Structure 1
Amino acid sequence: MQFENIHSPNYSAENSVLSVFYYAENYQHNIEDDFPAELYSLKKFDSIKSLQEASQNLSIDELNTNILIEVNQETQHEVFQLVDSLKSNWLTRNIIVIFLLTEKDPAIVKKALKQGVSDCYVPPIFFNDVKQRLRFLSFYKQLRSEITDLSQIPTTIYKTPWGKRFLDIFLSSIALLIISPLLLLVAILIKLDSKGPVFYTSKRVGTGYKIFDFYKFRSMRQGADKEVEKLSKNNQYKGESAFFKVQNDPRVTKLGSFLRNTSIDELPQLVNVLKGDMSLVGNRPLPLYEAEKLTTNEWSMRFLGPAGLTGLWQISKRGKKEISERERKKLDNFYASNYSLWLDLKIILKTIPALLQKEKV
């Protein structure tokens, strides 16, 4: 694989010094010992109240400060007051806050995530993971702040091998030419079926965490994105999963169900392939809320291979209710490490019979 590192002149995901405010008693030594001074500027507070006062008086130049805070049953009320004060102020509402719980308490975790806390860790806490998560959230915050100027986003750029790129351009151009009457017909039917635009465009994270506009035929009613939290209890991937998929999704329109089961809704992504946002074969680009959960070294490897329209997951597991989150991640990682032109051709040939999925997911 060929990669090239580029960085914004104002930000480096790997080498920048992160400012961290923290309050901790039990975890004080872990933070002091595991966060090297060359990468983290630590400021300790002796009370939650003093931390709250400092966070309320941050200057505009200090808004990239991150907060680590130890939480237990006795301090949770005061901690949530701090979170409320941050979230109610438009200047500080995007500050990254991570909870370090001293004991497992699902109620605190649930409330924290609902109120916009970036992440919660429960014992046993591996502080190396906390560091990686903090750096990725900081990196992602920068990505989002520069979302209108993607050319300046610091990232790792995957250089598509010329053979793969030629195949992408050749096949996607022919396909778009052949199916253009079908695309026009589908567009008309969508307008007749339900209110809303013909195409659904969302921000997706592809190779090297590159963010781009991802195209699909609209298969859901308007405002479907806002219903994700409400439907999370029905997620096919159990627990605190990085992926979100609902069987018999109530947001899908009547026509949308047909478009999804035949994968016709995916056809506009051939334009993404032609533009070079993604390849015909690769790991599926993820929505922002999914990608930001895949931050450990093990699972972020999926972003080090090409993003694609179809891939190993589509031909081997797509639509199967029993697929686990770990299986899907392992398939993505395998492709990122082992992709080749011959593997791509095999996947393309096996994609056609896999298009007609059995499960409504």
Structure 2
Amino acid sequence: MPQYSDYIYFGDNIETFDYFHKQVQNVLGVDLKFFSSFETMDMYFQEQKDQFFSVVFYEKGKSLVKDLAQLAKLLLYDKDTLLILVGSDLSRFEKQSYFDAGITNTISPFAQPDVFQSVKKYIHLFFEATAQREKFEIATPSFPQVGIPFGKRIFDIVVSSVLIVLLSPILLFVFFAIKLESRGSAVYKSKRIGSGYFMFDFYKFRSMYPDADKRLKEYMALNQYADATQHAAPFSPSIHNGEEALNFTLDDLRDVLIDDEVVVRGFDTGNKQKKAAFFKLEKDPRVTKVGRILRKYSLDELPQLFNVLKGDMSIVGNRPLPLYEAEMLTTDDSVERFMAPAGITGLWQVEKRGDNGSMSDQERIQLDIDYAKHYSIWMDLKILYKTFSAFIQKADV
């Protein structure tokens, strides 16, 4: 683990720095160093190389090329440097470019104070990920990223290779069907947290329109307008959490994170700190016609076979989680679930209590922990059998 932490703001907007410095002091209880010259910050990094865990709030510059070159140089000094981009209104190309250069998260220059609470949790998650990766690198040098046992890894390579070959006609058909219906990449990549808090690119067939977030906001705007004029809207987003249903207004969108599967919104629990609520969308307007078929038969999950072949995850294991969900599971009573390999299918997915969402989050976490403690090749084969049985029954229906 690093000897101490260092918090840095790089940019030339002194007003934004003053605001961030105040929030970082109030929420994280630390001072924020300010650098307006990259050369000066670069010299500082050289002097302090490998001596600390650093968090850098990197202000988006006018030149993307210059930013990417500077970010790449920062990452050369310390593997424990967490880069957070300060900026807004990023294009899809800019987002992908910054993430490829080492940025792991973004924050608006005008972020509300409660957003910094989430940043605090995210930094804690990064600490945990670093510590767990170091443990796995020592324990399993052959597979340092996820710590998959040798026998299980060989099984994964054989099974994923065979399935990719056998399913190649379906993979190609789905690929071209997605491309024909809408523009954009046929394969969707998102950051997920797997075994040992290892972060990797998680592959799925794209089941949504490329402008999914814009479409959702437009439907929400129409719904709000209809409520104000007492007319029926062409679409009313039904957002469910268990038995509770909510409708978001445009004001709520500041607190909403739109992902490929769920909408996440902060809600007030009466305490000073907001928690996150996860909502599934019924008749999601972001999903394409092809995407609805893919989701119905879980065909959108097939590209994860390439994740298995790469070693990011296993055929059977605990599902890898999005960052915002993983950051909520860093306490002692849930962290054990990350000690098992990440997987395409797992124990709780084949439990009958999980049908129709009847299983609680706590029950799922407990089953993940049970799998982490007791998994074996025979247990994996049993789970695989139940998975294929459930899929066949679903297809027949």
TM over 0.5: yes
Instruction: Find 2:184's aligned residue among 174, 179, 196.
Output: 196
In the alignment, is residue 217 of structure 1 matched against residue 205 of structure 2?
Answer: yes
CA separation of 1:354 and 1:306: change in aligned 2, threshold 3 A? same
In the alignment, is residue 324 of structure 1 matched against residue 360 of structure 2?
Answer: yes
Name the counterpart of 2:288.
Answer: 253
CA separation of 1:178 and 1:134: change in aligned 2, threshold 3 A? closer
CA shift for structure 1 position 201: 1.1
- The 10-residue stretch of structure 1 (57-66 or 310-319) with the greater mean CA deviation from structure 2: 57-66
Name the counterpart of 2:349.
Answer: 314
Residue identity opposite 1:224 in structure 2: A
Tell me the distance in 1 between the aligned counterparts of 2:240 and 2:376: 33
Tell me the distance in 1 between the aligned counterparts of 2:190 and 2:331: 24
In the alignment, is residue 139 of structure 1 matched against residue 120 of structure 2?
Answer: no
CA separation of 1:55 and 1:278: change in aligned 2, threshold 3 A? same
Instruction: Find 1:205's aligned residue among 181, 193, 196.
Output: 193
Tell me the distance in 2 between the aligned counterparts of 1:49 and 1:330: 36
CA shift for structure 1 position 234: 2.4
Q: Provide the secondary structure at the position in 2 that maps to 1:320.
A: helix
Residue identity opposite 1:264 in structure 2: L
- The superposition leaves residues 139-194 of structure 1 with CA deviations (integer Å, 9 ceiling, x where unpaired) of 27989xxxxxxxxx756454322221222111111111111111111111111222
CA RMSD of aligned residues (A): 4.4
CA separation of 1:244 and 1:166: change in aligned 2, threshold 3 A? farther
Name the counterpart of 1:31.
Answer: none
Higher relative contact order (CA 8 A, sep 6+): 1
- The superposition leaves residues 29-58 of structure 1 with CA deviations (integer Å, 9 ceiling, x where unpaired) of xxxxxxxxxxxxxxxxxxx79958x95654
CA shift for structure 1 position 338: 1.4
CA separation of 1:254 and 1:337: change in aligned 2, threshold 3 A? same
Matches within 5 A, 1:1-361: 12=1, 16-18=3-5, 55=31, 58-59=34-35, 60=41, 64=54, 112-113=113-114, 116-119=115-118, 136-137=124-125, 139=127, 154=134, 156=136, 157=144, 158-224=146-212, 234-236=239-241, 240-241=275-276, 245-316=280-351, 320-355=356-391
TM-score between both structures, scaled by the size of structure 1? 0.60
Residue identity opposite 2:241 in structure 1: Q
Name the counterpart of 2:139.
Answer: none
Q: Provide the secondary structure at the position in 1 that maps to 2:167.
A: helix
CA shift for structure 1 position 274: 1.1
- Percent identity for Structure 1 against Structure 2: 43
> Does the Cα contact within 8 Å between 1:318 and 1:357 map onto a contact in 2?
no
TM-score between both structures, scaled by the size of structure 2? 0.55
CA separation of 1:203 and 1:154: change in aligned 2, threshold 3 A? farther
CA separation of 1:226 and 1:49: change in aligned 2, threshold 3 A? closer
Name the counterpart of 1:3.
Answer: none
- The superposition leaves residues 219-273 of structure 1 with CA deviations (integer Å, 9 ceiling, x where unpaired) of 1111436889989992536874575543433321111111011011111111111
Tell me the distance in 1 between the aligned counterparts of 2:237 and 2:370: 28
| Long gaps (5+) in structure 2 | 8-21, 36-40, 46-52, 57-84, 89-103, 137-143, 221-235, 245-266, 268-274
- The superposition leaves residues 113-148 of structure 1 with CA deviations (integer Å, 9 ceiling, x where unpaired) of 3xx22349xxxxxxxxx9xx58624527989xxxxx
CA separation of 1:294 and 1:265: change in aligned 2, threshold 3 A? same
> Does the Cα contact within 8 Å between 1:244 and 1:290 map onto a contact in 2?
no
